[in-house]
A and B are shown apart, each in its own frame.
Chain A
Amino acid sequence: MRFADRSGGGVLTAVRGVSFCVRDGEIVSLIGPSGCGKSTLLNIGSGLAPPSEGTALVDGKPVAGPNAQVAFMLQKDLLLPWRTVADNVMFGVEIQRLPLPERQRRAHELLTQFNLAEFSEHYPRQLSGGMRQRVALARTLAVDPHVLLLDEPFSAVDAQTRIVLQRDLARTLRHAGKTALLITHELLEAVTLSDRVLVMSRRPGAIIDEIAIEMPHRDDPIARRADPKVNDYVARLMDRLDIAHASLDHRSNGGAG
């Protein structure tokens, strides 16, 4: 996947001169201050918003609109309250008109994998936040995308649940050999989950650093957390983001990513 050069001709340029690629099977994290255009990149990548300049490529083909190769997941679980857990997982494949037995097979497989099989006939309101987010991840994976775009997927759950969800995500991505672009605010999350971390500047966002995470256990963020090397990477990211000298101005409250 490749993004390049988006500059808005109008009032606000979200990102400019951004060019990077994510290799097949790689997990790349994007971190940066609030409002640096991370979510804009995600919208471009998923085909929801066309770039005003430049292109995004998936499997070498330009993204012309929403497509089955790319699926995204947000901080909000976006589960439909009137659908059971299983039906929520099948939401994407149903839209893509896969035959019913195949939809059910995928939903069952994913729910079993995420230890949610016994809840498949429950409704979202009966689930905890962490479980709901896992259902959302299952729904994203059910369409069998080549690329996952994850926009702060775990920032709304509590710290302990987040660690479990990160582990589940890491295992699943490795197991299925998926490519992923992860947008996150959390430096530790970026370091423990990724092969590479891209650091973005303030708006108009540009990539100011690229850090390869040379650590084992990409499929086990809990093991990575225990590795002292993590601290060096986090320190470097903090330095690049200039967190020590950052002040909180009104802009830092605007919108996610």
Chain B
Amino acid sequence: MKDAAHAALVRKGAITSAVLLVVFLAAWQWGPGLIGVPSYIVPPLSMVAAEFVRAFQLDHLLLHTGVTVLEVVAGFVIGSLLGAVIGYMLGMSPVAELALSPYILALQIAPKVAFAPLFILWMGFTVYPKILVAILIVFFPVMVNVLTALRGVDPDMINLARSFTATRAQIFWKVEFPASLPPMFAGLRIGATLAVVGVVVGELVGGNVGLGYLLSFGEGQADTPLVFVSIVMLTVVGAIAYLAVILVERRVLHYLPARSIGGNL
């Protein structure tokens, strides 16, 4: 596609997006009233905004958000590091892959969030069970993508490196590792959003801090606006995590044509 035509397309998309946002916010503000939905079912935008200010001042919204962010970051970083390392190890050792694949598959099928109550039994109402759920949930997409990427490296490429008398380490660092990065980043994108899910479920199950706790506290108080505030804040946390991955990805994978923000979700 021509650059100018592409730029025009992007501009058109951005304008439409902005218009949709305005329409959505307006519908949120006035829609429930128009069709007679009471505000304890769907509070209008202004009420949620007022609740945001109130929660910020009286309910330690910033503290809850901060704790959730911390858990998400910790879970994401540890989970993706573990996923990558294990992925590389399994990729280098077909025997290990064959031996472990049934267990990995079983763990992958098991819904990770179901472990949350168990982890809370083990570790109490601390941040650790939440981080652990996030680690578990982030681990798989990263590991699977790294493993698949290593399997997909062209054997002729490896032979070329070998013909230049490459050592095993050189083949890994100069061919396999860089080749695994694009799929790994696809895994990290998925992981960034899943980390938030893992943490929230952990917080819903037990504890007295974090946005997930605020969510269930709002539910208990029948405080619908607070529930909405929590959901919005969780979305913001997830979006920032996702965008952070994309920013790093753009730097690392600068040699690839830029992918759209929503691509490969």
Contacts and interface: CB of A to CB of B under 8 A. Distances in A.
Interface residues on B, range: 20 to 34
Interface in A41-94: 46-48, 66-68, 70-72, 74, 76, 78, 80-82, 91-92, 94
Nearest to B171: A95
Contacts of B257: 125
Contacts of A91: 161, 164, 174
A58 to B, nearest CB: 13
Contact of A74 (B156, B179, B253): B156
* Max chain A C-beta neighbours (<10 A), residue from B164, B170, B181: B164
A78 B156 contact: yes
A173 interface: no
B159 A95 contact: no
Interface in A90-149: 91-92, 94-96, 123, 125, 143
Contact of A76 (B156, B175, B179, B181): B156
Contacts of A78: 154, 156-157, 160
Q: Interface majority SS on A: helix, strand, loop or mixed?
A: loop
Contacts of A72: 160, 163
A71 B156 CA distance: 13
Contacts of A82: 178, 181, 253, 255
Interface string B109-123: 000000000000000
B260 interface: no
A95 B156 contact: no
B50 interface: no
Interface string B82-96: 000000000000000
Given A82-B178, A123-B255, A67 B160 contact: no
Given A68-B165, A81-B256, A123-B255, A95 B174 contact: yes
25 contacts: A48-B159, A48-B162, A48-B163, A66-B162, A66-B163, A66-B164, A66-B166, A68-B165, A70-B163, A71-B164, A72-B160, A74-B156, A76-B154, A80-B157, A80-B174, A80-B178, A81-B256, A82-B253, A82-B255, A91-B164, A92-B164, A95-B164, A95-B174, A96-B164, A96-B165
Interface of B: 154, 156-157, 159-166, 170, 174-175, 178-179, 181, 253, 255-257
